[in-house]
Amino acid sequence: MRLPAEWEKQGFVQLTWPHEDTAWYELSKVLDCYVEVAKAITRYEPLLIVCRNTAECKADMAARGYSPAPDIRFIEAPVNDTWARDHGAISVFGDQGEKCIEDFVFNGWGLKFGADLDNQITRNIYRAGAFAEDVRYLDMRPFVLEGGSIDTDGAGTLLATSECLCSLNRNEYLTREEIEERLKNAFGLERILWVEHGGISGDDTDSHIDILARFCSPDTIAYTACDNPADENYGPLKAMEEQLKSFRTLNGEAYRLIPLPLPEPLYLDDYRLPASYANFLIVNGAVLMPGAGSELDKKAAGQLQKAFPDRKIEIIDCRALLSGHGGLHCITMNYPYGW
């Protein structure tokens, strides 16, 4: 098996569309954001929209002056919520180059939220023809895993946090060594770089890696940094930064580390929201970065341009998504070319 990196050529991106029964604050603003995300993705590659009702989804778009691009496909399925990164399938290449999707258990980030419908989305859309005929379906149950909890260089190294993958109500019946072995087998890994520190206030996921540190190439990691000692996130993020400095590539060299600023604090009813520029989405020819509505957006985009010199950096205002305690990468799932 081989788990490809996100910067490899993609076939399409999945969005799971919100509706009034999904857990969103100010749904209208969230739908505004989803339309902007859909527009941005289809400038670079096709889009699959999973929704409970296609006509309802198209009406949401029409109400915002958007006519769906020709390369948007719609597949209907029951949904609890819309975090495609975590309930979506994870794509792997088999040992002979076979195209496969792996369907893990999604249990609402350790039984925090209802996920009985979301846990069935991958199987349902596979049966409905979401993927090419030669894509194999691999049932990985009972192992619990969310796509946002892992990040890879595509060459056998995985980034993940111990806090998430070893947390209660996920795979607590396994030791860390057993979890590591299952991940290696599932993804054809040589090693896992366990991030032992880091976290952002307001995060429900037990420190998903996709808000903390991301591979941008086999030797480059972009990460969330905090330089304000008065910020509650300062200590954990500084400790993570020091650990990232200690990591080495498979060739024994230090990683090129690119710090991304921590967005200015954003609140909803006195609750600090987990904003992170590390929650970017790589697409064919571009990187879509979640904007937080401040001058720091431009600084973060400049840092990401260093990591992706040959790609366009696009900023999308994603503050509405933070009301659900997530971001741009969290609502999307990418699939390789040919899937």
Convert the pLDDT of each residue in 81-94 to its tens digit.
Answer: 999 999 999 999 99
In a domain, 142, yes or no: yes
Q: What is the mean pLDDT of residues 249-276?
A: 96
Q: Which of 57, 100, 318, 330 is catalytic?
A: 330
Distances (CA, A) of 72 to 58, 114, 204: 11, 28, 30
pLDDT tier for residue 320 given thresholds of 50, 70 and 90: very high
Number of structural domains found in the chain: 1
Residues with Cβ within 8 Å of 319's Cβ and at least 6 positions away in sequence, in order, are 266, 275, 291, 292, 293
pLDDT tier for residue 205 given thresholds of 50, 70 and 90: very high
Q: What is the mean pLDDT of residues 291-312?
A: 97
Query: Residue 137: what residue type?
Result: Y
Q: What is the mean pLDDT of the chain?
A: 97
pLDDT at residue 292 tops 90: yes
In a domain, 49, yes or no: yes
Q: What is the mean pLDDT of residues 103-107?
A: 98
Q: What is the mean pLDDT of residues 44-67?
A: 97
In a domain, 1, yes or no: no
- Parent domain of 64: 10-336
In a domain, 4, yes or no: no
pLDDT tier for residue 14 given thresholds of 50, 70 and 90: very high
In a domain, 81, yes or no: yes
Residues 160-177 have pLDDT tens digits of 999 999 999 999 999 999
Q: What is the mean pLDDT of residues 32-38?
A: 98
pLDDT at res. 288: 98
Q: Return the higher-pLDDT residue of 106 and 269.
A: 106
Q: Give backbone dihedrals phi and psi of 254, rounded to 5 degrees, phi first.
A: -65, 145
pLDDT at res. 23: 85
Alpha-helix residue ranges (DSSP H) falling in the chain: 27-42, 54-62, 84-87, 108-111, 121-127, 162-165, 176-187, 234-246, 296-307, 319-322
In a domain, 2, yes or no: no
pLDDT at res. 95: 92
pLDDT tier for residue 25 given thresholds of 50, 70 and 90: confident
- Reduce the DSSP state of residue 161 to 3 states and report it: strand
Our answer to whether residue 57 is catalytic in this structure is: no
Q: What is the mean pLDDT of residues 7-23?
A: 96
Global pTM value:
0.97
In a domain, 199, yes or no: yes
Q: What is the mean pLDDT of residues 205-228?
A: 98
In the numeric block, which tokens belong to residue 158?
A: 């995985």
Residues 115-162 have pLDDT tens digits of 999 999 999 999 999 999 999 999 999 999 999 999 999 999 999 999
Q: Which domain CATH number covers 143?
A: 3.75.10.10
